[in-house]
Amino acid sequence: MSEEAAVVVAIAPGDPLPSWCRPQWEVLAARAADGTLPHALLLCGPSGLGKRALTEAFVRARLCKSPREGHACESCRACRLLAAGTHPDRMLVTLEPNPKTGVMRKEIVVDQIRALSARLAMASQLGGWQVAVIDPAEAMNTSAQNALLKTLEEPTDASLIVLVSDQPWDLNATIRSRCQRLDFSVPSRDDALAWLASRGVESAGAVLAAAGGNPGQAWLLAEQGGMQRRQEVARDLLALAAGRGDARAVGRAWADDEPAQRLEHAARLLEGALRARSEGQRARFDPGWDDGTLAARFSEANRLRALLNGPLRADLALFGWLDGLARA
Ligand SMILES: [Zn+2]
């Protein structure tokens, strides 16, 4: 699992659905209305596009006892239980601490899926739907995915399993084929800017560009000092590329403060420089390497970002990469 799966949900449950989630909502609402919902859904796309907000709204609508125009009423007993997080027919399978060590697990394990299957095999406690969300679904390890396959092959009535995934390619292909898939992609610039404006983000155009057009990621950047980090990353990379700067000091500084986010900025900056060159222009950030070196550095930044989740010491790994930049 890479760091992306762990990115904070950018759109909180309870917020109105972003406009660009409308088509996906309509598909689900229509199938729910005519009684043709599948037993399993797979919602996928990059983090920050509203998959989780839509999942939350849809789960609530399924469990609500008196939905209005397809949406949860927010006032019946079921809705109150949902709001309190105590609805007995709503299940969430996610990353949890290991009960023996207390250390957060990096994968969803088979026992969690077995417990889910056992609950789904029992009748609904409030006499309606049973809904389970598995998120991040790609965090299921191989045994967990195999156990889930069995559950998907023998679905129980009035049950719905929603898999939410930022990286669906890490899921078993058979699991993917057993789910109705809904893809989320980056919305139009106008939609994204309108949404950012509604949340009071200043300089929304610049933040959105820095986030590659992804509004949820842009909002995170604006909220969490990400823009400043991006400027620092650009400054550090340019200094190293120009033979100034100390790769070891930069590696330590990055390792101490959001190393994965800094590598993501590095990757986006390098990608932006490559794209500008392919259009015959030169980006404001361009370290001056030849195209091949630039492309290689971009791939390395992405690879390293995934590796940081492993047992590597972040400062050493970053130093190795940054030192290579200084020599390129
Ligand atoms: Zn309700």
Distance, CA of 155 to CA of 28 (rounded, Å):
19
Nearest residue to 230 (alpha-carbon basis) of 213, 254, 202: 254
Encoded tokens for 324: 């290579």
Distances (CA, A) of 268 to 83, 152, 203, 210, 264: 38, 38, 18, 7, 6
Q: What is the reported pLDDT for 188?
A: 96
pTM confidence score: 0.72
Give me the mean pLDDT over the 74-96 stretch.
92
* DSSP output for 42-61: EEES-TTSSHHHHHHHHHHH
Q: What percent of the chain has pLDDT over 90?
A: 62
Alpha-carbon radius of gyration of the chain: 22
Q: How confident is the model at residue 7 (pLDDT cuts 50, 70, 90)?
A: very low
Give me the mean pLDDT over the 21-29 stretch.
93
Per residue in 282-314, pLDDT (tens digit) is 888 999 999 999 999 999 998 898 788 777 788
Distance of CA 35 from the midpoint of ligand 1 (Å): 19
Give me the mean pLDDT over the 215-232 stretch.
86
CB half-sphere exposure, 50, CA atoms < 13 A: 25
Q: What is the reported pLDDT for 313?
A: 82
Distance of CA 87 from the midpoint of ligand 1 (Å): 12
How many Cβ atoms from other residues are within 10 Å of residue 90's Cβ?
Answer: 20
Distance of CA 13 from the midpoint of ligand 1 (Å): 16
Q: What is the reported pLDDT for 317?
A: 87
Q: What percent of the chain has pLDDT over 70?
A: 95
Distance of CA 199 from the midpoint of ligand 1 (Å): 27
Least confident of 4-13, 71-80, 120-129, 133-142: 4-13
Distance of CA 73 from the midpoint of ligand 1 (Å): 4
* pLDDT for residue 9 is more than 50: no
Q: How confident is the model at residue 8 (pLDDT cuts 50, 70, 90)?
A: very low
